[in-house]
Amino acid sequence: MAGNEWINGYLEAILDAGGAKFEEGKERRSVEMVGGGVFNLTKYFVEEVVTGFDESDLYRTWIKVIATRNSRERNNRLENMCWRIWHLARKKKQIEWDDLRRLAKRRQQREQGRRDAAEDLSEDLSEGERDASAHGDSVRGPMSRIGSDLQSWTDDDEDKGLYIVLISLHGLVRGENMELGRDSDTGGQVKYVVELARALAATKGVYRVDLLTRQISSPDVDWSYGEPTEMLTRSTDAAWGDGDGSGAYIIRLPCGPRDKYIPKESLWPHIPEFVDAALTHVSNMARALGEQRQRGGSGHVWPYVIHGHYADAGEVAAWLSGALNVPMVLTGHSLGRNKFEQLLKQGRLSKDDINSTYRIMRRIEAEEYSLDSAEMVVTSTRQEIEEQWGLYDGFDVNLERKLRARARRGVSCHGRYMPRMVVIPPGMDFSYVNTQELLDGDADIAALIGSDRNQSKRNLPPIWSEIMRFFTNRHKPMILALSRPDPKKNVTTLLKAFGECRPLRELANMTLILGNRDDIEDMSGTSSSVLTTVLKLIDKYDLYGQVAYPKRHKQAEVPEIYRLAAKTKGVFINPALVEPFGLTLIEAAAYGLPVVATKNGGPVDILKALNNGLLIDPHDHKAIADALLRLVSDKSLWQDCRKNGLRYISRFSWPEHCRNYLSHVAHCRARRPSGRGPDASTPARPAVEEEEEPMSDSLRDVQDLSIRFSLDVDVAKANGDDNTTSKRELILSALRSASKARSREPSQTPGFFRPGRRQRLFIIALDCYGQDGAPSGRLSEVVREIMEAGGDSRTGYILATGATLAEAWEALKSCHVEPEAFDALICCSGAEVYYPWKDVEGDEDYGAHIGYRWSQDSVRSAVARLARTEGATEDDVVAEDEGCSSRCFRYAVLRVDDLKQKLRMRGFRCNVVYTHSCSRLNVVPLFASRSMALRSVSQSLKVRFFYCVNVHVKVVISRGQLRLDLHSLVELDSSSSSCRNSTCLNSTQLDYITDSLNYRWGIDLSKMVVFVGDKGDTDYEHLLPGLHKTLILRGTVECGSERLLRGSGRYQMEDVVPKDAPNICTVDKEYTAQEISAALKKL
């Protein structure tokens, strides 16, 4: 019954703290905390009752209150409140039970996915390979740090001239005077990415490093966070090279409200805007770097790798990787699933509360998508791979090992893919460590602890005196612990170990550096509790004169604290319950301190590399005391650990980190097939040795200095005349003849594609279907009004739909609109792109790009198998032949719960889109989507008007055809004197040239307007945000597929589309050309 007495006390405290208001669902009593936080007394006592007592105790208390109740108001309130808290505890238990069932079901699904993958992967193995594979799975050995086929980065790679892009979206990022700890978003990650950018830029072979982050022009933060560009100064570490490039830069891009500094949980709807801005910056920088490296040439230096840090930047990197065909690397820093499980175990917040507070489901989906797209994931420890990334659908340790082994043997993986997990510990800057001083004598410490302290003229650090004043005997070795006052850091167990081990107390002193404080009562609840317990334990074991706990220290004084402990021949200890990495262990080793560390987490890898200390069980205070006593008392062991730490500490330096990093990236690039982009590793080389005239911006995406195209001309005549002027006339004559023939073509509709004349693009993405999935008649009316609002030929049109090409063609014909009037048709939910003004063949370049990691036969088989497990019939799992292609499988009303998740578990990376009012399912490649296709097409169509060409040609006779090289295409004004020395072509001739080249022109995304309804296919919401303008025509879509978009408990639309976005406008009911034009003016 003792438990019930405690409950009674808590209940009485709740009444005193505002129980009446608690009964009404409100809370009255609260205490203002330092830093602006609020500590609520009622909430605190309720949590103590709910989390600290069993349901049966609460029930007995309620029965007792009922039995002893009387008419007094306080007793009635106590009875009512006791009943409510009892039911709250029951609800908590039910939530925990539901979570356990959810985890068990998910574990079962993962096991089934693993078995399916193993079965498929074993089908094409020989008997010997199967035995070897089975043996490899049963014997779990250490994961190799560098594979046998990986080559280390050396100085021989210094001439590569790499361009590397890092992305860290949230927090306050700047190179100097970082405000670490200002808020939860500005912490260790900010310091890490800035130092990584500096280190990479100082590595030989790296030409430029850009760190992309958010631009913040808020009055609440320093003005420097609003500067678009900041150059990072280089480190003074002598181990780093001088670098051979332009250095490292912080590039700040506008994203979200520019006048507000918002937390990372509120940034999710603005990510597409950041993606578009980053895409523009990277494209412009690639061109500019190419011109710099080529002395005015036109080669592009595309990024060698795009590296996203944290979930938000990982999603940005995934989009950029898909758009540019550049390998992506991911570093999670902290993971959403791990945090989600921990919050659920605490039981203080429900699943919905966690999701609404932390946007946790949106974060988890971003991490899953990042895993889908990443070539490599950088982790700090092996524990992070197995215990944290292992929680995700997109990664399985055993399957990843199998796929890696098969790839190494050259055996097909049947379209399955897992990113490569590599352990690369964070680097450190050891430039401030004076190794010679560490090896010198102990004159300075002798001066500090000697009887005559004025005999030395040395200027000793003030923090030394601040610590030494606590000790009665200053000659003892110092046991140093440095952490924030957090229960997870386990400082109280350390004090218990020290207090209960008399030999250790007689042999050593202890120093606890636990943050900064003025008054313990003003600190947060957990910090205050830890520090209070520390003081109580010091008093309990009478440790006065043996334990130092200074109130304040500066960050710059931390190295001096390490030095002091090393001078006294002390030991550093990290007794945390779980330590993800253990940066303080590396810092201590750099100053010659042996270490004692927890065996849970990253310290295992650190001590394996450094061999400079002992591992302990953080829950065993006797083991902690024994390890400390052993190191302090055994001087030979202490010296060995000290020497090993100083010898191997370079393994954790930034130069070593960068070499490992670039080696792994190079290995991943070697495994990645070349796509539509140029070779990103090196700038393009000139086609000829002589200095060429530089290209203008109009050809900024050309991969070479020459663009070749063929014309049928009289070869004999070309061979017979060597005069350059005659050759030019011959070529121009052929161009004129071709353009005249084209001008006689009948398909000269008003909207016919005219390259160079487009000033804006209208993208029609209206999913107008009826209940039966057939196109509705409303589409015809809206399309005609949109095209009327577009006006003349300066406006181009693109149709983006989940329908097939045949369906889209028929729909346009029913609208009395010629398909040739459209610049592009995006069909099958972004799996296919057509240019009807040119032909009806799909864009092979785009198809090859999105086909990366796509195995159509394996995906088709997996979808059918999953459908059968859900009870689908044979007819359901047969893809529609008319709607299928090599990049898209279409099924009729095939419903598989969490199909994309289950495909991920099996190693397949796909997009799943429900369309045609939920009557059709499109399964397409990962990088295929309407929003991704728009960004690709935007690089294919030109918006400005070019009407004058400066042509320099070289004639090459090949197979009966005359080939010419077009070296320069420049934009000229009609009044410009530059036309005097140019060969002027009319617009029709220019049309022919650009059509023949089928060249990818750049377009300003802000000149694109996307027309959508207020509902649509399940990929509809991704069409709304970005730098482009969006016009929502309310009521145009009768029936959408959004009800199948996501299940319960997932993230919502407000996590994807920003509220009150200035570039999104809604038109109600009236869809006339005048209303549409008026709405566009508002945008």
Q: 3-state class of 691 per DSSP?
A: coil
pLDDT at position 731, please? 52
Whether 945 contacts 795, CB under 8 Å: no
Instruction: Give the N- to C-terminal CA distance of the chain in Å, as an integer.
Output: 69
Q: Are 1040 and 917 in contact (CB under 8 A)?
A: yes
Instruction: Taking each helix axis as running N to C, give the angle between helix 188-201 and helix 654-671, from 0 to 180 degrees, rounded to the nearest 10.
Output: 80
Does the pLDDT of residue 629 top 50, yes or no? yes
In terms of Cα–Cα distance, which of 538, 82, 602 is closest to 382?
Answer: 602
CB 908 within 8 A of CB 925: no
pLDDT at 864: 84
CA distance 908 to 368: 12
- Structural tokens at position 554: 């500066």
> E-strand spans in 279-355?
305-309, 328-331
Q: Cα separation of 552 and 354, whole Å?
A: 35
Query: Distance between CA 1050 and CA 1044 in Å, rounded?
Result: 12
3-class SS at 571?
A: strand
Rounded Cα distance, 123 and 412, in Å: 11
Residue 664: what pLDDT? 92
**Tokens standing for residue 665:** 């990236």
- Among 782, 810, 811, 816, which Cα is nearest to 1072's? 782
In the predicted model, what is the mean pLDDT of the chain? 76
Q: Point out the least confidently predicted range of 48-57, 189-198, 617-626.
A: 48-57
Distance CA 819, CA 811 (A): 9
Read off the pLDDT of each residue in 937-952 and give the average, rounded to a whole number.
43
> Which one is predicted more confidently, 144 or 580?
580
Distance in angstroms (rounded) separating the CA atoms of residues 1060 and 388: 36
- pLDDT (tens digit, 9 = 90+) per residue, 411-444? 888 888 899 999 998 888 877 676 666 655 555 5
- Is the pLDDT reported for residue 621 higher than 90? yes
Predicted confidence at residue 382, as pLDDT, reads 84
What does the pLDDT read at residue 997? 31
* Higher-scoring residue by pLDDT: 59, 584: 584
- Spatial separation of the C-alpha atoms in residues 831 and 439, rounded to whole Å: 65
Q: What angle do CA 925, 926, 928 make, to 5 degrees?
A: 65
Angle between helices 310-324 and 360-373 (to 10 degrees): 40
Give the residue among 678, 136, 127, 152 at the shortest CA–CA distance from 408: 136
Does residue 905 carry a pLDDT above 50?
A: yes
> Mean per-residue pLDDT for 912-925?
90
What is the mean pLDDT of the segment spanning 909-923? 90
- 658 vs 978, residue with greater confidence: 658
CA 544, 494, 187: angle at the middle one, nearest 5?
105
pLDDT at 167 over 60: yes
> Is 315's pLDDT higher than 90?
yes
Lowest-confidence segment of 91-95, 134-138, 853-857 by average pLDDT: 134-138
pLDDT at 779: 86
Give CA separation, 675 vs 358, 644, 844, in Å: 38, 47, 11
Q: For residue 42, how many C-alpha atoms fall within 13 Å in the half-sphere facing its CB?
A: 18
Highest mean pLDDT among 169-173, 724-728, 961-965: 169-173
> How is residue 556 written in tokens?
């710059």
How many whole angstroms separate alpha carbon 645 and alpha carbon 381? 19
In this predicted structure, the answer to whether residue 362 has a pLDDT above a threshold of 80 is yes
Assess whether pLDDT exceeds 90 at residue 316.
yes
**Segment among 352-366, 574-588, 869-883, 985-999 with least mean pLDDT:** 985-999
Alpha-carbon span 939 to 388, nearest angstrom: 38
Is the pLDDT at 45 greater than 80? The verdict is no
Residue 506 has what pLDDT?
Answer: 93
**Is the model's pLDDT at 307 over the cut of 70?**
yes
What's residue 39's pLDDT? Answer: 42
CA 711 to chain centroid, in Å, comes to 47
Asked if 1041 and 770 touch (Cβ cutoff 8 Å), the reply is: no
Split at pLDDT 50, 70, 90, the class of 687 is very low
* Mean pLDDT confidence for 848-863: 86
Q: Over range 164-172, report the average pLDDT.
A: 95
> Could you give the CA distance from residue 272 to residue 1056 in angstroms, rounded to a whole number?
9
Contact 613, 603 (CB under 8 A): no
Angle at which helices 1073-1082 and 778-790 cross, to 10°:
60
> pLDDT for 381-417, tens place per residue?
888 898 889 889 999 888 888 888 888 888 888 888 8
Distance CA 82, CA 64 (A): 10
pLDDT in tens, 209-247: 999 999 999 999 999 999 999 999 765 544 445 556 789
Confidence check: pLDDT of 35 > 70: no
Which residues of 534-626 form beta strands (DSSP E)? Answer: 547-548, 571-574, 595-598, 613-616
The pLDDT of residue 632 is above 70: yes
More confident residue, 56 or 464: 464
Query: Residue 360, SS3?
Result: helix
Of 32-46, 186-200, 615-629, 882-896, the one with minimum mean pLDDT is 32-46
Select the more confidently predicted residue: 564 or 107: 564
Q: Give a three-class secondary structure readout of 539-576.
A: HHCCCCCCEECCCCCCHHHHHHHHHHHHHCCCEEEECC
Distance CA 878, CA 899 (A): 16
At how many degrees (to 10) do helices 778-790 and 805-814 cross? Answer: 80
928-932-935 Cα angle (round to 5): 145
830 or 581, higher pLDDT: 830
Average pLDDT of the segment spanning 750-762:
64
Tokens of 562: 């390490």
Q: How confident is the model at residue 33 (pLDDT cuts 50, 70, 90)?
A: very low
pLDDT at 140 over 70: no
Q: Is the pLDDT of residue 646 over 50?
A: yes
Q: Would you place residue 97 in the very low, low, confident or very high pLDDT band (cuts 50, 70, 90)?
A: confident
pLDDT at residue 1029 in the model: 92
The dihedrals phi and psi of 1068, each to the nearest 5 degrees, come to: -100, 125
> What percentage of the chain exceeds 90 in pLDDT?
32
pLDDT for 129: 46
Alpha carbon distances (Å) from 1072 to 800, 814, 1079:
21, 19, 11
- pLDDT for res 246: 81
Residue 482 pLDDT grade (very low, low, confident, very high; cuts 50, 70, 90)? very high
pLDDT given at position 463: 92
